[in-house]
Structure 1
Amino acid sequence: MPKLLKAIAAASAITLAGLTQAHAAWPERAVQWVVPYPAGGGSDVIARVVASTIEKTLGQTVIVENKPGAGTIIGASFIQNAKPDGYVFGTADSGTLAFNPWLYSKLQYDPVKFTYIGGLARFPLMLAVNEASPFKTLEEFIAAARKDPGKLTASSAGSGSPHHLALEMFKQRAGVDIAHVPYKGAAPAIQDLLGGQVSASFVDSAAGLANIKAGKLRVLAVATPERLALLPNVPTMAEAGVNNFNAYAWQGLVGPAGIPGDVVEKLNADLQAALKSPEVDGKIKGMGVEPMPMSAADFKAYADQQREEWGSVIKAAGIKLD
């Protein structure tokens, strides 16, 4: 019996050594980074900026492939169904991991069953009006909304988008009724805000930055815990009287369940190093976006917490997209 146990132990050691050697050689070929949005958008740009840096440390090409559609469901499903060998991973955002499980009765993927790799970036959200708006402060805006419930309107990048759900959270936290006007994307939502077709909009920092800098949009408050360096004179929601309200459009990197731990550690280390590098940090912040480097465990915990928080908002608002 002892001889048998020794033989099993020796065989196990050889197998583990072989696996370790195989993982240590990762990647031996190009890897694929799936982005669940069209080329040219903020998520795509961030992926390509980071990919061009981490491929230097990985020693292999990182191919960014766009698989847009169905509120990130197409891209997320592709990632989750891929072989868990570390050669396919991709961007998953607040919609993928926190909103969709509540917005849809059935999903083609399970947010719990990804391998969480690390945080990428977050887009601060803020309530804005156009330059001709009579509202100079958030207090004035809330007072008008309470005086005539349902009269004020707010555009968003689409039903179920971070901008829409930020509006729903605002309505719940501030105790106001504002009519939601969904658009197909952030650009047309902002365009009609600029044109005065809607009263206000929650905009993300990347999509709204140019018009904010040009003075065409006035930000009444930012939905962040602290004031933004970009807008040091603009109060936070808490400072303006709306408590317990923080909202970002955030994203991170995930892969299919079962990616070997050492591969995740390597990819996370290279990802965090890239996000903290002056070049990548500068490019992302130049878009009005905040880098969000996180360990794999921290990113999973953050996504889990966000899923519960936004689930409460979505259920209270009674939103379903199917």
Structure 2
Amino acid sequence: MKRRLFLSLSLAGLCLAVAPASAQQWPSGPVKVIVPYGPGSTPDMIARIVSEHLSARLGKPFVVENKAGASGNIGTDAVAKATPDGQTIGVSIAGPLAVNTLLFRSMPYDPARDIAPITIAATQPSVLVVGSRLPVADTAELVARLARDPGKYNFSSMGAGSISHLAVEAIAAKAGTEIVHVPYAGSTKAVMAVLSGEVDLAVLPAAAVMPQVKAGKLRALAVATAKRSAALPDLPTLAEGGIRDVQADAWMGFIAPAKTPEAIVARLHDEIVAVLADPGVQDKLRGLYMDVVANSPSEFKATLKGDLDRWRPIVEKHGIRLD
């Protein structure tokens, strides 16, 4: 009996000793960073910026691999099914990690079961913009026009079920009106639709619209964030214009397979947060209209729950499905 107890305690002690040791030995070789969208996308840009600095800090290459398709599900599934040893991580967003569970009847992975959140690296505000067909000065004036003529105006999005789609449906619900949805494949085409006058308005990532705003071709009315963005401090929030509780900022988070040892997840978190604290990195992200977040895994999980709670009523009301 005493011998069995001694062996059990010895094994327990060995496990406790191995966990921190594995984190110290990580990374054992090149680290794959999977991005579920194409080169040049916002998640791709932040993955490459952070990976470059992680490579320099840790002396091992962090290699970005793009696996696009199925609204981000393909690449995120690749992370979920990777060996959980810290040698494969990913960068993903609200769609594949939360909202897609509302949009697809069948998912190849369960974000809550198969993914270990590490940290939300940064967030980029979504911006409410209008084109020349809508000569309004602010959100309140826009809402008044929309409310007077339900169904008269239309908006572009980056695709059905995207945050750019759900955000405008939420605005319409708050305003007690209807706005016709015209989906496009990606942000570039969605922006062009507003520029050309095919549609009246859109809520799109800042990086996609601000060059056109600065050129005087689009008018930015508000950011769809809880508070004013440090990246765009002069733009009011939707709430300041009378549309409350519509938050559509686009965050990018680092993730790992669910069974990755906690010590390695903690090491990943600390290293990524250290990179995000670098003034040079913050300058690069600011140039992309991003605000650094660098939160904890538990705070990341809370964000995922908040996104599900926020968008579920909109998805259910409009019966939005992608399969």
Provide the rounded CA distance (Å) in 2 between the counterparts of 1:150 and 1:95.
Answer: 27
- Which residue is 1:123 aligned to? 124
Cα contact 1:98–1:308 (8 A) shared by 2 = no
1:63 equivalent in alignment to 2:63: yes
Give the equivalent residue in structure 2 for 1:195.
196
Choose 58-67 or 297-306, whichever is displaced more. Answer: 297-306
| Distance change >3 Å, CA 102–CA 206, structure 1 → 2 | same
Of 304-313 and 222-231, deviating more is 222-231
Q: CA deviation at 1:131?
A: 4.5
Q: What is the identity, as a one-letter code, of the residue corresponding to 1:173?
A: K
Residues 226-251 of structure 1, C-alpha deviations (whole Å, 9 max, x = no match): 23345444321111111122211112
- Alpha-carbon distance in 2 for matches of 1:168, 1:209: 22
Contact 1:156-1:180 within 8 A present in 2 as well:
yes
Query: 1 CA distance for matches of 2:294 and 2:5?
Result: 45
Paired with 2:258 and 2:231, the residues of 1 have a C-alpha distance of 38
Give the RMSD, CA atoms, in angstroms. 1.6
Structure 2 counterpart of 1:44, one-letter code: D
Q: Does 1:28 align with 2:28?
A: yes
Aligned residue for 1:186? 187
Kindly indicate whether the alpha-carbon contact (under 8 Å) linking 2:128 and 2:201 is maintained by their aligned counterparts in 1: yes
**Greater displacement, 143-152 / 192-201:** 143-152
- Aligned equivalents of 1:131, 1:228: Cα separation in 2: 25
| TM-aligned CA deviation for residue 18 of structure 1 | 4.1
State yes or no: 1:161 paired with 2:144: no
In structure 2, what is the equivalent of residue 223 of structure 1? 224
Structure 2 equivalent of residue 77 of structure 1: 77
Alignment of 1:81-92 (within 5 A): 81-92=81-92
How many residue pairs were aligned? 322
Percentage of pairs with the same residue: 37
* Change in CA separation of 1:68 and 1:153 when aligned onto 2, cut-off 3 Å: same
Equivalent in the alignment of 2:308: 307
SS of the equivalent of 1:122 reads strand
| AA at the equivalent of 1:48 | R
Structure 1 residues 35-89: Cα deviation after superposition (integer angstroms, max 9, x where no partner)? 0011122211111001111222222110100000010010011111111111111
Contact kept, 8 Å, 1:50 with 1:271, in 2: the verdict is yes
Are the structure 2 counterparts of residues 225 and 22 from structure 1 closer, same or farther at C-alpha, using a change threshold of 3 Å? closer
Q: Shift in Å at residue 12 of structure 1?
A: 3.8
Select between 233-242 and 204-213 the one with higher mean Cα deviation: 233-242
Deviates more, 1:230-239 or 1:26-35: 230-239
CA distance in 2, matches of 1:252, 1:68: 16
Please say if residues 23 and 267 of structure 2, whose CA atoms lie closer than 8 Å, have aligned partners that are also in contact.
no
Are the structure 2 counterparts of residues 301 and 73 from structure 1 closer, same or farther at C-alpha, using a change threshold of 3 Å? same
Matched, 1:236 2:237: yes
Distance 2:48 2:264 in 1: 20
Conserved? CA contact 2:19–2:261, under 8 Å: no
Q: Secondary structure at the match of 2:51?
A: helix
Q: Is contact 2:226-2:245 (8 Å) kept?
A: no
Consecutive unaligned residues in structure 1, runs of 5 or more? none
**TM-score of the superposition, structure 1-length normalised?**
0.95
- For residues 97-118 of structure 1, the C-alpha deviation after alignment (integer angstroms, 9 at most, x for no partner) is 2210101111111110211111
Q: Distance in 1 between matches of 2:234 and 2:12?
A: 63
Report the CA distance between 1:257 and its aligned residue.
1.1
- The 3-state SS of whatever aligns with 1:239 is helix
For 1:128 and 1:104, the matched residues in 2 are separated by 29
SS at match of 1:234: coil
After superposing the two structures, state which structure 1 stretch, 228-237 or 295-304, moved more: 228-237
Deviation at 1:215, TM superposition (A): 1.6
Shift of 1:321: 1.3
Q: Tell me, what secondary structure is at the counterpart of 2:125? A: strand
- 2:176 aligned partner: 175
> 1:256 — aligned with what?
257
Change (3 A) 1:7 1:239: closer
Say if 1:321 and 1:14 are closer, same or farther in 2 by CA, change over 3 A.
closer
Compared CA separation, residues 185 and 283, structure 1 to 2 (3 A): same
Amino acid across the alignment from 2:190: A
Q: Conserved in 1, the CA contact under 8 Å of 2:43 and 2:92?
A: no
Residue in structure 1 matched with residue 52 of structure 2 by the alignment:
52
Shift of 1:2: 1.4
8 Å Cα contact 1:97/1:307 also seen in 2: no
